Chains A and B, each alone.
Chain A
Amino acid sequence: MLSIRNIVKQYAGHTALSGVSLEVTGGQIFGLLGPNGAGKTSLIRIINQITAPDSGEVYFGGEKLNQSHIGRIGYMPEERGLYKKMAIGEQIVYLARLKGLSHAEATRRIKYWFEKLEIESWWEKKVEELSKGMQQKAQFVATVLHEPDLIILDEPFSGFDPVNAELIKNEILELNQKGATILFSTHRMESVEELCNSIALIHQSHKILDGRVKDIRNSYRNNTYLIEYSGNRLEFNGSEPFEVLGDSATDEGRLLRLQLNATTSVNDVLQYLIPQVSVSRLQEIIPSVNEIFIQKVNQKS
């Protein structure tokens, strides 16, 4: 769907992207992560053909990215904006026509979306009369109106209250089910794990990690487990088949964090524990994307 190959972008004084390559397969929800100033927006602008890379290429659906792809991409920038003095309906029609829709078709689709989001009464309203969250809803409609194959959302949930964030999230999922590929950048990790199939982590202009969320998390497993047990406090003397990371009391009983030795399995742990205490929970600790993110970024810097 979208193939980014060796993109380099330099601005006077600093490098925004150095040799970044990414593959976004069709139908995915792809998360572009990275701390502020990492180069996410630069990359998104290149995909949107707002700026051109110094070197490297972008392929869209197998073709080299060109002006004919503009109508197949929908973009909602992080800093959102609409003309303040222009009526909402007219404004979205204008933006849709710039993307190549006819006047009649744009009007028809806006009616559909406004009904869906229950904002029909806004048509004649001016942007300055709407709250920030309301403006973002309108902007979201403008982004997806021309039914783009690729929807690029820069920080899509910032500024939404939880109810509207949920609403927009569901709309994104629905669009994705209908076949649209979604690329969004965010630093809200919980939404990444909930929504994204794949992610890429960009830090200081370099891509430092990418792949499917599941694979990435699995690759960061380090045989750490959490065990909740009740009974006497365990005594450890070094003969147990694991390394103890922590043992603490809770309201319910005690919590043990442990890491397996190279040769042992979870079953060995259970066999060791069961004669001594009653185990009520056993869970593998898989690092969250958030933890991986922080770990990776700190490693680098």
Chain B
Amino acid sequence: MDKVLLIIQREYLSRVRKKAFLITVFLVPALLLGMYAVMYLLYKNSSEMNTVHVVKVLDDSGVFAGKLHDKTSLKFKSLNEPLTSAKKGLKKNQDEIILLIPKNYEDPKAVQVLSENKPSISTANEIERQMNEIATNNKMVAAGIDTAKLKSISSDISISARQVTEEGEKDSNIGALYGIGVAGAIMIYLSLFIYGAQVMRGVIEEKTNRIIEVIVSSVKPFQLMLGKIIGVALVSLTQFILWIILSLAVSYIASKHFNAPQSPLLGLIEGLKGVPVGNIVAYFLFYFLTGFLLYSALFAAVGSAVDSETETQQFMFPITMPLLFTYIISVSFLAQNPDSTLGFWLSVIPFTAPVAMMVRVPFGVPDWQLYLSMGLMIVGFIFTTWVASRIYRVGILMYGKKASYSELAKWFFYKE
């Protein structure tokens, strides 16, 4: 056991110390920070949205005066000074806007807005909207239509999807659930590949370096394989945890410094209300870990059977197929039909469960299906590890022999 720990330690440290690891760890929060910065700049650009604009209204028509109502960023005042001095005042006060409404306000381009800076689209839109509403209202009144009655007639329907669960009804934001499910599936799919390939490359490296023979004279091949798989698993967990911590830190710093009230993370959290995020993270870690153990054992067996990375193609196909297949089905079909029969089967078969279950979990999965799936995952990875280790122990000592599937089968049945 001590030896496995030593191997885990080496596998872990040799990867974590690599520059590539540090770069990827910091790249994701850096991208996030960049995203915040871009949002902040966009937000600064449209700062009119938040700074209060004073609109001085000169209403020659007399239709609008007093009817324009204030918004958080728009205050309406009537212009009570000569236009020329008011125009001069614009230079001093950049947040001031002068709204000129002539008598023929319905003519194209008749209504004018004067300001030092070009007013933002949202400001212009808001003024336009209010003026249209007032004008329409006036016309309705003139035409003898009861505006109060009209308001009560017009309908504004929005669907609120509610899920019936044992705890009672709860809000379900289908869009957010879909997003989370697909994002989780993609994350699992990619990380299984990336870290599984790392295990495979490690095995090939030891084999081509011929250090394997020195090591297996000290430890059993199974110990080496296990140590490598666990080592890489810890690397990946370190990466995920650092990403989460750094992303939170970056979000915190960004919210302090950029003073952005609409942080995308906060927005996301708002959207996730009612979704059991803690549960989903826990399931993600479980399915990633068991899925990783299951697939990386197979990757290790492939690595042991070849002499170089270019030869891995023929064996990679059957390993990547179930993952790719589930991924495509999950994103296109399962996310829309999470409770279908296909969804059930895909999420209990260990080879496809990590990806398929991630799509289903946000929508809620019956407990018995979850337990079945998780139990099968554990059985599955123990099984593949056993199969893989039997191929691995022979493969690592075979040089210069192009292995075929029948060869692998023979290796499997070798005695010690």
Contact = CB atoms under 8 A, between A and B. Distances in A.
A75 B217 contact: yes
B218 A99 contact: yes
A244 interface: no
B209 interface: yes
Q: Is the interface of B mostly helix, strand, loop or mixed?
A: helix
Given A52-B416, A86-B14, A98-B3, A79 B217 contact: no
Contacts of B402: none
A12 B403 CA distance: 13
Interface string A69-80: 010010111011
A295 to B, nearest CB: 31
Contacts of B14: 83, 85-86
B397 A51 contact: yes
A81 B217 contact: no
Interface residues of A, number: 29
Given A82-B209, A98-B3, A48 B415 contact: no
A67 to B, nearest CB: 8
A139 B115 CA distance: 80
Nearest to B216: A50
A51 B14 CA distance: 28
B211 to A, nearest CB: 4
A98 B213 contact: no
Interface in B187-225: 205-206, 208-219
A84 B210 CA distance: 11
Interface in A98-143: 98-99, 139, 142-143
Nearest to A42: B397
A51 B416 CA distance: 6
Contacts of B37: none
A280 B415 CA distance: 64
B211 A83 contact: yes
Contacts of B325: none
B137 to A, nearest CB: 76
Contact of B210 (A48, A50, A73, A81): A81
Contact of A98 (B6, B210, B415): B6
Contacts of A97: 6
Contacts of A81: 206, 208-214
A160 interface: no
A230 interface: no
A59 interface: no
A48 B217 CA distance: 5
A60 interface: no
Contacts of B217: 48-50, 70, 73, 75, 77
Contacts of B205: 83-84
Interface string B393-409: 00001010000000000
B83 to A, nearest CB: 77
B410 interface: yes
Nearest to A76: B214
Contacts of A12: 410, 414
Contacts of A139: 214
Contacts of A76: 214
A98 B213 CA distance: 13
Contacts of A45: 213, 397
A73 B6 CA distance: 19
A75 B219 CA distance: 13
A70 B213 CA distance: 13
B416 A75 contact: no
Contacts of B215: 95, 98
A79 B399 contact: yes
A132 B211 CA distance: 14
Contacts of A73: 217
Contacts of B415: 52, 54
B218 A70 contact: yes
Most A CB contacts (10 A, CB to CB) among B6, B10, B217, B415 go to B217
Nearest to A79: B210
Contact of B219 (A52, A77, A83, A98): A98
Interface string B286-324: 000000000000000000000000000000000000000
Contact of A77 (B3, B208, B210, B416): B210
10 contacts: A50-B397, A70-B218, A79-B210, A79-B213, A79-B399, A81-B208, A83-B209, A84-B209, A98-B3, A98-B219
The 8 A-B pairs with the shortest beta carbon distances in the complex, nearest first, are: A81-B210, A81-B209, A52-B416, A79-B210, A98-B218, A77-B213, A81-B211, A48-B217
